[in-house]
Structure formats: structure tokens, C-alpha cells
Chains A and B, each alone.
Chain A
Amino acid sequence: MAETGRLTRTAPSAPLLSPVTLLRVAIILGVLAGWELLSRSGWLYRDVVPSWLAIGKALADLLSSGEYYFNLGVTAAEIGAALAIGGISGMAVGILLGANRFLAKAFEPYLYYLGPTPKIIFFPIMIMWFGVGPGSKIALGTLSCFFPVALSAAAGMRQIDKVLIKVGKSFRANTWQTVWKIYLPAMRHPIINGVRLGLGVALIGTLLAETKLSNKGVGFLIIQAYSVFDMPRMYAMLIVLFVLAIGANALVGRLGGLHTIRR
């Protein structure tokens, strides 16, 4: 059999550096250069804008210090506890409100309007109730986390396809099985979204509480660096904290498969 020729076309190779990447690199370099110029200009008070070299050195010192990891562990444990307590209670309340229209009409407006109020103002109450230790930080984180999770869970519950619930009923699923096998899988995306929001606000609430009154945790280290005017160390801690916060947020979204949602 005569062999037919095969049409081949090499796939166009993507340029090594696309214009977008080039622009990003240019912006980053511009910011770094501007910062360094500002640092050396003397326009601001000395050390308010430390050089990148000083920040880099502080960053290296920070990441090689055992004390930092201990404090990071304390903060992570507080945030984890806050997320667990606030997340589970928020989900339970959200499922209850989402499942019952009467209860939702009676109580959801309170959640809706209390949700965005500044939670840090409750810190004096938390100190009186739970003391000055980690308990008050966990409580503030829990309070911050509860509202977004509850509201997302309630909204997610209302979006569940009624057919799924009817299927569950036709299989005579009990309440626990209905929650576990139908409600929770069907509400995965709103719940993950709520947990993402909850994680963000729990992190802010816990760390702000640590900056206000604490003797351990990353918030305590930041305010300690401020009080001794160790600016490079403070910048280094803020950089690490921002990277961790944004990374944790993205990770929760990815684990929950939010990137797979078709918009």
C-alpha cells in the first residue's frame, strides 16, 4: 500500500518571555529600584524605608530563627482552632437556616448585618470572658470566622437541586445520611468559599488580637519589632505573613476545586 504523506506542523512555540511576563518583571524591578532610591534619598526618617539588603538579611535571619517558628506555630494553632470551632458551628447554623425558610427569615438578617461589623471591638469582652491567653485570640478568630461560613452555608443550602433531596428521600435516607451524602457534597463550593473567607478574617482577627495584648505569636513579634523600631525585621515578618495568608487562601480554593467552576 502506498504510504500517504503525513501533514505535519510543528506547534508554534510560546515565546520564552511573553509581553505580560516582561511587563511584570519591569514593574517588580521598577518598584524595587524606586524603593531603594527612596531608602537612600533621606526624604523619610532613617530606617522607615530600609534598603532591600537590610530587609533581605532580616528575612534570612527570621526564617532561620527557631523563635519565629515557635511563634508561627502558636499563631497557626490559634487560627486552626478558631477555624475549626467557627467553621463547624457556622456550617451547622447555615445548614439549619438554609433548610428552614421560617428560621432563615427570623434570624438570617441578624447574621447578615452583624457579619461585616468590625470584630476586633469585641476583644475587650473576649479578654474578660477567656482571659489574656490564647483563649481570647481563638474566641475572636472564631467570632470572625463564624459569620461568613454560616452565610455561605445557608446560601449554598438553598441552591441545592431539589431533585437530589427527593432522591435521598426516595432512598429513605435519615437526617444524618441526607446531610452527609447529599447536602455537604452538593454545597461543597459555597462552603469552601465560606471557609476561604472565614480563614482570611480568622487570621486577621487572631493576629490583630495578638498585636493588642499577647506575649507570643506572630502578632506579638510584629508589635515587638515596632516597639524597638526594628523596621527591617518588621517588614520581613509582614512579607512572610502576606505570602502565607495569600498562599493559604489560594490553597483552600484549590483543594476545594474552586478553580474548576465554570463561570
Chain B
Amino acid sequence: MSAPGRRFAIYDALPAAVGIATVIAFFAALEGLIQGGVVNRFIVPPPSEIIGSFGRVFVEEHIVSRFFFTLGECLMAGVMITVFGVAGGFLLYRYKLLQQATETWVAALAAAPVVLAYPLFMVIFGRSAWTIIMIGFVAALPPVILKTLEGLSGTRKVLVNVGKSFNLTGSQQFWKIMFPAALPTMFVGVRLGLIFALINIVGVEFLINYGGLGQLINDLAERYDLAGTYAAICFVILVSVVFFMSLEKAERWLRPVD
């Protein structure tokens, strides 16, 4: 590697190393403070104890099956937001009057705290996975509709004209030109929707004490298993981060050039 190249690599790696070192130093200091009795270990368990309880939480609390339960709910909500969101966005694009009348309502719904209606969903769907899925679906639908509309409306005029010059039918025009052109923007909506869905699904699982990872945290907290609670929270954070990173990678693959 040339000298400037090496300088670049060091310059890129150094901040990341400082970030990681700071996090490690923070947890080491916390461990010291707890072991020294400065911080109450019955409020904040030592990081070593949290790391040690990971294995127990994995085996005894069936974390893998809980993970797949939450993942299943997310996938179900994801399929629903994709189908209904894309269809809704297409309807708004196709019928301009409907778009003018309802686009602001959809945007307002995106700002509404839908998850607070979870008791209402429990009354309608019972304390079941459907309550969780439906909240994830309703909360995540608006960004998919709005981004689909944005993607279809933003199709370049020249592409549409090329379609017209080939005498494409309405259906061909949509599937061969509009849909592929709008796909990257639509995926942004689906990505945002999936993030909203995951946040709401884990949150409602925790609140109604039902389902996968959210329920696990609630269970452990109610048993006052402090180290287990912290370990489960760390696991949920890890799952969320991996989920967001994968979605981001998929989006970059779909939209290589901005």
C-alpha cells in the first residue's frame, strides 16, 4: 500500500477505534464503580454479570424461538405494508382527485401516535399476535404509501414518452416503466415501514406481555432478574441494529447511485 493510501486507512480506522475504546472504557469504569460499591449493584448490575447471563438467557428463556416469533410478526406486517402500501400509493397516483383529498391525511397519520391505540386493538383482536401485527401494520403503512406515490410521480417524463412511442398499453406502461423506475423510492418507504413495524411490534410485545423478545424483557423485569433484563435489552438492541443495517445494505444494492 502506498504512503497516502496507508494514511487514509489509518485516518478511517482511528475514529472507529477511539469509539470502540471509549465504549469499552465506559463499561470498565462502570464495572469498577459497581465492584467498589459506588454504584448500587441492585440497580445497575456489573457488565461482567450481564455478559455472563447471556448464555443462561439464551438457553433457559428460549431466546431463539422468541426471536423467530418476533421476526415472523415483523415479516407478516412487512408483507401487509408492502401489499397495501404500494396499492394505496398507486391508487393515489392513479386518481389525482383522491390524492389531493387524502395525501395530507396520510401524512397526518404518519405523525399520529398510533401505538397508543394498542388497548383498542386488544379489544378488537384480543391479546394475540394479530394485535401486535396490526399495530405494526397501521403504524408503518403511511411511509410506504407516501414513498410509493413519490416514486411513481417522480418517474422521468422521457421514460414515459419512450413507453408511449412504443404504443405500450396502460398495464405494460406500469409494469415495464413506472414500476421499475419507482422501485428504489418505494423500497425506501418499505424500509422505513419495516423499521416502524419492528419498533412498534417489540414495544407492544413488551406492553401487553405477549409474544417474543418484548415479552422476554417484561418477564425478566417482573422477576427482578436484573442481569437477565439488561442482557435481553442488549440482545434486542443488537437484533434491531442488525435489522437496520441489513435493510440499509439492501437499499444500497437497489439504489447503487443516488
Contacts and interface: CB of A to CB of B under 8 A. Distances in A.
B220 to A, nearest CB: 8
B237 interface: yes
Contacts of A104: 15
A207 B116 contact: yes
Contact of A203 (B113, B118, B226): B113
A48 B123 CA distance: 7
Given A116-B199, A211-B116, A110 B233 contact: no
A233 to B, nearest CB: 11
A104 B12 CA distance: 12
Interface footprint category on B = 35 or more
B124 A208 contact: no
A238 B108 contact: no
Contacts of A117: 199, 236-237, 240-241
B22 A107 contact: yes
A123 B202 CA distance: 13
A15 interface: no
Contact of A106 (B22, B220, B240): B22
Given A20-B101, A23-B98, A27-B101, A246 B202 contact: no
Interface string B176-216: 00000000000000000001001110110011000000100
A226 B116 contact: no
Interface in B105-131: 108, 111-113, 115-120, 122-124
Interface footprint category on A = 35 or more
Nearest to B241: A113
B43 A118 contact: no
B117 A238 contact: yes
Interface string A219-263: 100110110010100110010011001100100000000000000
B101 A124 contact: no
Contact of B203 (A110, A208, A229): A208
Contacts of B123: 45, 48, 226, 229, 231
Contact of A105 (B16, B206, B241): B16
B111 A27 contact: no
Interface string B209-237: 00000100110110000100110010011
A44 B220 CA distance: 35
Interface of A: 19-20, 23-24, 27, 44-45, 48, 102-107, 109-110, 113-114, 116-118, 120-125, 127-129, 200, 203-204, 207-208, 211-212, 219, 222-223, 225-226, 229, 231, 234-235, 238, 241-242, 245-246, 249
